[in-house]
Amino acid sequence: MKFLTFSLISVLFVSRGFAWPSRLANREASRRLRGSRPLSSSPHAVVNSTSNGTDSQSDPKSYAVTSSGTTLYDEYSTNWAGVVIESPPTGQNFTTVSGTFIVPKPTGSNGSASAWVGIDGDTASQSILQAGVDFTISGGKVSYDSWYEWYPNYAYDFSNFAISAGNTITITIHSTSSKAGVVTLLNKSTGKSVSQSLTAPSSSTALKGQNAEWIVEDYEQNGSLVPFANFGTVTFTNASASTLNKTLAPNTGIKINIVQSKKLLTSTSFTSNSVTVKHT
């Protein structure tokens, strides 16, 4: 896939509305979620990639990658990179989303990012059930936090769940109903796991089961995005999203990349069972 040049991004990229969940650990921080995907009529993206590998600007209002007759749209966000499946088969809801990744070691002096898996939060923007791992570097020192959240409630850290660079973590999000669910993190490197049962904060924040996602996020703290850490690469393997009777692959979803200050900060790719996000 070919990406936008920065100059073209600066002309066509627009900010979208976001929901605003928050995070409470030793600090209180707000986590900003993407709003619904812009319609193709929005001034959003740029290039159509044709089957012969050449590019054409036949539609300056939508960015499409055409493969095997299927058109998939790429999007840009100030804080989300990864893949979102926007809708399950008609009449079905996502009930389980999972993915496994190797914990990266961020580089540089200061910054943070978060890798997580979730249900809803995109087109179903009123709620999201999610869990993940934050990786932070401060003064050259690296630390990790694992957490769970049912937006718009606060997110909370798991305790007594040690994480180190290079550990293999599996995240599983499972909704038992629209108003109840369980999140589980398994550290396959240590054999330890943690889980938490959660309920919807209110009837209006019940899950719709419309979205499944695997995301690396630049989250907000005190009203501003934290410096985005150079995390290298995060690859979610064994990535799948299931309804009661069907499993969907991540390459049926939409790729998202982070653009900040007119700069493209990530590169996202997917296969039938993986999602890879690279810091550029």
Q: How far apart are CA 232 and CA 61, in angstroms?
A: 31
CB 12 within 8 A of CB 273: no
Given pLDDT bands bounded at 50, 70 and 90, which one contains residue 73? low
Supply the CATH number for residue 219's domain: 2.60.120.700
pLDDT tens figures, 130-146: 999 999 999 999 999 99
Residue 70 lies in a domain: no
* Whether residue 152 has a cis bond before it, omega within 30° of 0: yes
Other Cβ atoms within 10 Å of 237 Cβ, number: 15
Residue 43 lies in a domain: no
Residue 223, pLDDT score: 75
Given pLDDT bands bounded at 50, 70 and 90, which one contains residue 20? very low
Q: Is the pLDDT of residue 89 over 90?
A: yes
CB 20 within 8 A of CB 121: no
Q: State which residues form the domain around 203.
A: 25-35+79-254+264-279
Residue with tokens 């150079």: 230
Which is more confident, 72 or 140?
140
Number of domains in the chain: 1
> What's the pTM?
0.79
CA distances, 20 to each of 23, 30, 34, 128, 242 (Å): 10, 7, 9, 11, 26
Given pLDDT bands bounded at 50, 70 and 90, which one contains residue 56? very low
- Report the DSSP beta bridge partners of residue 216: 81, 115
When mean pLDDT is compared across 2-6, 75-79, 95-99, 129-133, the lowest value belongs to 2-6
Residue 146, pLDDT score: 96
Q: Is the pLDDT of residue 275 over 60?
A: yes
Strand pairing of 224-225 and 55-56? unpaired
Residue 183 lies in a domain: yes
CB 31 within 8 A of CB 149: yes
- Mean pLDDT value across residues 74-99: 93
> Phi-psi bin for 238: left (phi > 0), alpha (psi -120 to 50), beta?
left
When mean pLDDT is compared across 21-30, 135-144, 244-253, the lowest value belongs to 21-30
Torsion (CA) 215, 217, 220, 221 in degrees, nearest 10:
110
Residue 133 lies in a domain: yes
Q: How far apart are CA 69 and CA 277, in angstroms?
A: 25
- Mean pLDDT value across residues 80-95: 94
pLDDT tens figures, 158-210: 999 999 999 999 999 999 999 999 999 999 999 999 999 999 999 999 999 99
Q: Is the pLDDT of residue 55 over 80?
A: no
Residue 47 lies in a domain: no
Residue 210 lies in a domain: yes
Residue 245 lies in a domain: yes
Share of the chain above pLDDT 90, in %: 62
Mean pLDDT, the chain, rounded, equals: 79
Residue 254, pLDDT score: 93
Other Cβ atoms within 10 Å of 164 Cβ, number: 12
Residue 72 lies in a domain: no
